[in-house]
Amino acid sequence: MGAKKARPVTLQMIADQLGLHVSTVSRVLHAKPGEGLRAASSPTVERVRRLADELGYQRNPHAMSLRTQRSNLIGVLVPRLSDVVLATIYEGIEEAAAEHGLSTFVTNTRDVPEVQRARTEMVLGRRVDGMIFGDAHSDSGFLDEVAARGVPFVLVNRRAGGHPAVVCDDYLGGRMVAEHLLEQGHRDVAVVAGEPYASTGVDRTGGFADRFREAGLPIPEHRIVHSRFDAQGGRAGTERLLASGPLPSAVFVVNDFGAIGTIGALRDHGLRVGADIAVVGFNDTPLAAELPVPLTTVRSPMREMGRRGLRQLVRVLAGEQGESELLRPELIVRASSDPARYERLMAKVGG
């Protein structure tokens, strides 16, 4: 038992069967389409292609990489793939990579600097052609080092230190939320702001706070708390908020998962989201719409961000200058911050 693993077909095998030299076969099979010079005569090309097809030839990537010093591999670092935001961005990266004939290594760094370093070395040790970081810290020392070493890379999700980055216009997203809450008449608001080292949370908070300041309602410091980017973090941040003073009328949580924790904490304090207090999240993850009280949030083009990040990396690999891109967010209003929608919802449930 146990099927023997067939030795893969090589160029040499094809050459032998056809009485050609391996270099001719190589030229035929892998001549760049743009290449003006013909690889061989039409009949030869035909024969080679046919046999390669028949035998199911697949180029040995290790041999090719060794010879060309190009691996067509890229490394992707994310804080954690179990965060649906990063997983979705990665799906975009992978999709676009496949279209460019590139394969991706993706790895979790849990936002721990030592792990970021170690995984970067590991990935570089694999001789990737370039990297995409989804876990940049605002203190960009590490990335500066990587850049100094000449490693081509781009950032997605979070920006840092002026390196080419494809991110959502988080500042604008924060302003949109502020605008919405101001329209709803909120005057005393709070923010669960995420990790202080992540541009996402910082920029969202910044836009939000700026807009309130412009409205003559600067947000006091104790109304802004940092937190981890998950349900636990949202819960913990909210508990601190509730302990630190009177109840605000609205809470902006800089990501949906945090918002879920916030909702849990508010519930534990006997507060009804949408009625007693407004809550707004960020990212419009799939469950925001499905929550018992649907969550107002800001939609960010996550998959598209991944696709564009990969495209920028391809440009960098081609020797061009990588460009930063700012993707447009969109406010999605739902019952968690809109009394009219909340009433309609309750009417249905109540009746």
Q: Which stretch binds DNA (CB under 7 A): 60-68, 149-157, 221-229, 269-277?
A: 60-68
Which residue's CB is nearer to a copy of itself, number 141 or number 286? 286
DSSP string spanning 58-107? ---HHHHHHHHS---EEEEEES-TTSHHHHHHHHHHHHHHHHTT-EEEEE
Considering the rule CB under 7 A, would residue 55 count as an interface residue with DNA? no
- Tokens encoding 150: 């000449």
Among 271, 326, 331, 333, binds a copy of itself (CB under 8 A): 271
CB 76 within 8 A of CB 90: yes
For residue 269, the tally of other CB atoms under 10 A from its CB is 12
Which 136-155 positions form the footprint of a copy of itself (CB under 8 A)? 147-151
Considering the rule CB under 8 A, would residue 318 count as an interface residue with a copy of itself? no
Among 17, 44, 232, 324, binds a copy of itself (CB under 8 A): 232
CA 93 to chain centre: 8
Query: Whole-number minimum distance, CB 13 to a copy of itself, in Å?
Result: 16
Which residue's CB is nearer to a copy of itself, number 98 or number 215? 98
- Tokens encoding 72: 């067509």
| Separate counts of helices (H) and strands (E) for the chain | 13, 12
Helix (H) or strand (E) holding 280: strand 278-280
Considering the rule CB under 7 A, would residue 30 count as an interface residue with DNA? yes
Among 16, 46, 54, 60, binds DNA (CB under 7 A): 60
- Tokens encoding 9: 């077909």
**Cα-atom radius of gyration of the chain, to the nearest Å?**
26
Which 55-94 positions form the footprint of a copy of itself (CB under 8 A)? 58-63, 65-66, 71, 80-82, 84, 87-88, 90-91, 94
Which 6-45 positions form the footprint of a copy of itself (CB under 8 A)? 6, 8
* Residue numbers at the binding site for DNA (CB under 7 A): 7-8, 10-12, 19-24, 26-27, 29-30, 38-44, 57, 59-60, 63-64, 66-69
